Amino acid sequence: MAHKKGNQTYILDKDVIVRHSECIVGQKESEGPLGKYFDQKADDDFGMDTWEKGEAKFVEATYKKLLSRCDIEENLIDCILAGDLLNQCTSSACGLKESGRPFLGLYGACSTMAESLVNGSLLVDGGGMNNVVCMTSSNFCSAEKQFRFPLELGCQRAPNSQWTVTGCGAVLLSSGGNGPRITSVTPGIIRDYEISDTNNMGAAMAPAAASTIIAHLSDLERDISYYDLVMTGDLGLTGRELCRDILKMHGINAPKEIYDDCGAIIFDPEQGTCAGGSGCGCCASVLCGYLLKLMEQKQINKLLFIATGALMSAVSTKQGEPIPGIAHAVAIENI
- For 258, phi then psi, to 5°, come to -100, -40
The nearer residue to other proteins, 156 or 319, going by C-beta atoms, is 156
CB of residue 194 to other proteins, shortest distance in Å? 5
Could you list the residues that contact other proteins (CB under 8 A)? 7, 49-52, 145, 149-160, 189, 191, 193-195, 200, 203, 207, 210-211, 214-215, 218, 237-238, 241-242, 245-246, 249-250, 272, 274-275
CB of residue 111 to other proteins, shortest distance in Å? 17
Could you give the residue ranges of the DSSP H alpha helices within 148-200? none
- For 24, phi then psi, to 5°, come to -130, 135
The nearer residue to other proteins, 1 or 190, going by C-beta atoms, is 190
- For 318, phi then psi, to 5°, come to -65, -30
- d(CA 112, CA 117) in angstroms, rounded, equals 8
Give CA separation, 269 vs 29, 156, 177, in Å.
Answer: 12, 15, 40
The helix/strand/coil state of 164 is strand
The nearer residue to other proteins, 196 or 301, going by C-beta atoms, is 196
CB of residue 40 to other proteins, shortest distance in Å? 25
The nearer residue to other proteins, 119 or 238, going by C-beta atoms, is 238
User: Which residues 6+ apart lie within 8 Å of 109 measured at CB?
Assistant: 85, 280, 309, 310, 311, 312, 326
CB of residue 188 to other proteins, shortest distance in Å? 11
The nearer residue to other proteins, 154 or 255, going by C-beta atoms, is 154
CB 285 within 8 A of CB 168: yes
CB of residue 93 to other proteins, shortest distance in Å? 18
